[in-house]
């Protein structure tokens, strides 16, 4: 007997990381195929992860970056 919904939600990350054993993976997929709620949940987790990956990058201010390049330049110019 495969995982129940309450257990499945705790296995979502292992599933997406491909860390489940082949048997557990099959049981997970079988449950999702037959359970609307868990299918919605899995889809929402995927949407969440995708959104995280699209957040704009954090940037160092240009002035700070230029200063660091200047430091690198003087380091590389040393004897």
30 binds another protein (CB under 8 A): no
Which residues are CB-neighbours of 42 under 8 A, at least 6 positions away? 12, 15, 32
Q: Does residue 26 interact with another protein by CB under 8 A?
A: no
User: Is 19 among the residues that bind another protein (CB under 8 A)?
Assistant: yes
Handedness of CA 41, 47, 53, 55 (dihedral sign): negative
Q: In the structure encoding, which two tokens stand for residue 63, read together?
A: 């002035």
Site string for another protein, 47-66 (x = CB under 8 A): xxxxxxxxx-xxxxx--xx-
DSSP 8-state code for residue 30: H
Binding interface with another protein (CB under 8 A): 4-7, 9-10, 12-14, 17, 19, 35-38, 40-41, 44-45, 47-55, 57-61, 64-65, 67-69, 71-73, 75-77
């Amino acid at each position: 007997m495969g995982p129940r919904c309450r257990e499945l939600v705790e296995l979502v990350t292992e599933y997406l990381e491909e860390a489940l054993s082949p048997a557990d993976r099959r049981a997970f997929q079988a449950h999702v195929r037959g359970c609307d709620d868990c299918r919605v949940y899995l889809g929402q987790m995927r949407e969440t992860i995708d959104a995280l990956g699209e957040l704009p990058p954090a940037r160092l201010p240009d002035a700070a970056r230029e200063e660091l390049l200047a430091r690198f330049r003087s380091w590389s110019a040393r004897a």
